[in-house]
Amino acid sequence: LSQSPTTTAASPSADTQASPNHTLTIIYASQTGNAKGVAEALHHDAQAAGIPAKLVAADNYKGKQLSKESHVVIVASTNGEGEPPDNAIALHEFLQSKKAPKLDHLHYAVLSLGDSSYEYFCQTGKDFDTFLQKLGAKPMVARLDCDVDYEATASAWREQTLAEVKQHFQASGDAQVVPIRQTAAATSAYTKQSPYEAELLTCQRITGRGSDKAVYHLEFDLGDSGIQYQPGDAFGVWYQNDPELADAILARVGLNGDESIEIDGRAVSIREALIEHYEITVSNPQQIVALAALTENDALTALTEDKATLRDYANQTQVIDVLSLADVQLDAEQLQSVLRRLTPRLYSIASSQAEVEDEVHLTVGLVAYEQAQGALRQGGASGFLTQRAEAIGSVKVFVEHNDNFKLPDNDDTPIIMIGPGTGIAPFRAFLQEREQREASGDNWLFFGDRTFTDDFLYQVEWQQYLKSGLLTRMDVAFSRDQAEKVYVQHRLLERASEVWQWLSNGAYVYVCGDANRMAKDVHDALIHIAQHQGQLSREDAETFINELRKDKRYQRDVY
> Which residues sit at the interface with ligand 2AM, rule CB under 6 A?
420-421, 448-450, 479-480, 485, 487-489, 517-518, 521
**Sequence-ordered list of residues with C-beta below 8 angstroms from that of 390, at least 6 positions apart, any chain:** 200, 203
Nearer to ligand 2AM, 69 or 449 (CB): 449
Q: How near is the Cβ of 32 to ligand 2AM at its closest, in Å?
A: 21
Q: How near is the Cβ of 149 to ligand 2AM at its closest, in Å?
A: 30
Nearer to ligand 2AM, 141 or 519 (CB): 519
Phi, psi of 3 (to 5 degrees): -80, 105
Nearer to ligand 2AM, 246 or 425 (CB): 425
Rounded distance between C-alpha atoms, residue 115 and residue 122, angstroms: 7
- For residue 449, the tally of other CB atoms under 10 A from its CB is 25
In the beta sheet, which residues pair with residue 260? 269
- Cβ-count burial of 248 within 10 angstroms (0-12 exposed, 13-18 middle, 19+ buried)? middle
Q: How near is the Cβ of 420 to ligand 2AM at its closest, in Å?
A: 4
Nearer to ligand 2AM, 28 or 216 (CB): 216
Q: How near is the Cβ of 386 to ligand 2AM at its closest, in Å?
A: 17
Helices in 316-436 by DSSP H: which ranges?
A: 319-326, 332-338, 353-356, 380-383, 389-392, 425-436
Nearer to ligand 2AM, 43 or 450 (CB): 450
- Cα Rg of the chain (Å, integer): 25
57, 28 in Cβ contact below 8 A? yes
450, 373 in Cβ contact below 8 A? no
Rounded distance between C-alpha atoms, residue 392 and residue 194, angstroms: 19
**Closest CA relative to residue 349, chosen from 437, 236, 471:** 236
Q: How near is the Cβ of 316 to ligand 2AM at its closest, in Å?
A: 18
Task: Please give, one letter per residue, the 3-state secondary structure of 251-288.
Answer: HHHCCCCCCEEEECCEEEEHHHHHHHCECCCCCCHHHH
Nearer to ligand 2AM, 255 or 518 (CB): 518
Rounded distance between C-alpha atoms, residue 287 and residue 310, angstroms: 11
Helices in 135-258 by DSSP H: which ranges?
A: 151-171, 243-253
Q: How near is the Cβ of 425 to ligand 2AM at its closest, in Å?
A: 13
Rounded distance between C-alpha atoms, residue 541 and residue 543, angstroms: 5
Q: How near is the Cβ of 407 to ligand 2AM at its closest, in Å?
A: 24
329, 291 in Cβ contact below 8 A? no
Nearer to ligand 2AM, 106 or 511 (CB): 511
Q: How near is the Cβ of 517 to ligand 2AM at its closest, in Å?
A: 3
Rounded distance between C-alpha atoms, residue 455 and residue 480, angstroms: 10
Q: How near is the Cβ of 192 to ligand 2AM at its closest, in Å?
A: 29
**Sequence-ordered list of residues with C-beta below 8 angstroms from that of 408, at least 6 positions apart, any chain:** 415, 441, 508
- The DSSP code sequence of 64-88 is GGGGG-SEEEEEEE--TTSPPPGGG
Rounded distance between C-alpha atoms, residue 400 and residue 61, angstroms: 23
Nearer to ligand 2AM, 268 or 496 (CB): 496
Nearer to ligand 2AM, 127 or 557 (CB): 557
Q: How near is the Cβ of 366 to ligand 2AM at its closest, in Å?
A: 13
Nearer to ligand 2AM, 346 or 511 (CB): 511
Largest Cα–Cα distance in the chain? 76
Nearer to ligand 2AM, 57 or 476 (CB): 476
Nearer to ligand 2AM, 487 or 559 (CB): 487
Q: How near is the Cβ of 209 to ligand 2AM at its closest, in Å?
A: 18
- The DSSP code sequence of 489-531 is HHHHHHTHHHHHHHHHTT-EEEEEE-TTTHHHHHHHHHHHHHH
Q: How near is the Cβ of 417 to ligand 2AM at its closest, in Å?
A: 15
